[in-house]
Amino acid sequence: MNETCDDKFLANSDRERRAKKRFLIEQDVRYKMLYGQRIAETGVGKTVNISSGGVWLTTENTLTAGMPVELAMNWPVLLHDSCPMKLMIYGCVIRSSEKGAAISIERYEFRTQGRAFSQQPTQSQVEYRITN
């Protein structure tokens, strides 16, 4: 059976909401509310805490419960101490108020954002880039 966001919303409303360990991770987040294949609304917020089952975040607007949502946030730890990561979360809005929104996590993926260099390029590297 293919469970929809509405099915998850109804099932989660009767369940203990804090069954999983939450981690206080405060990061800027961008969200996209999805209506089928279309983007119904976009906005920004800040994550407050994350568990393996969901995310609590502040939002600009009250989000519609039961709607699919995509979140994008910078991960606070570098891969191999040099490569920034982005966490993509796909889920549904479980509840929302003027204080924020609870999002269930249906799936997630980490994406790399290219290497972060902590040192300035050397003079020979700059000259090579200019001449080539």
| Domains of the chain (ranges, CATH numbers) | 5-131 (2.40.10.220)
Show the tokens assigned to 122: 């050397």
The 10s digit of each residue's pLDDT in 5-48 is: 655 555 554 454 556 788 999 999 999 999 888 999 999 999 99
Q: What angle do CA 95, 100, 104 make, to 5 degrees?
A: 45
The 10s digit of each residue's pLDDT in 81-95 is: 889 999 999 999 999
The 10s digit of each residue's pLDDT in 105-123 is: 999 999 998 655 544 445 4
Residue whose pair of structure tokens reads 């203990």 in the numeric block: 16
pLDDT at position 128 over 50: no
Q: How far is CA 84 from CA 15, 30, 32, 76, in A?
A: 36, 17, 22, 8
Three-class secondary structure assignment of 9-62: HHHHHCCCCCCCCCECCCCEEEEEEEECCEEEEEEEEEEEEECCCEEEEEECCC
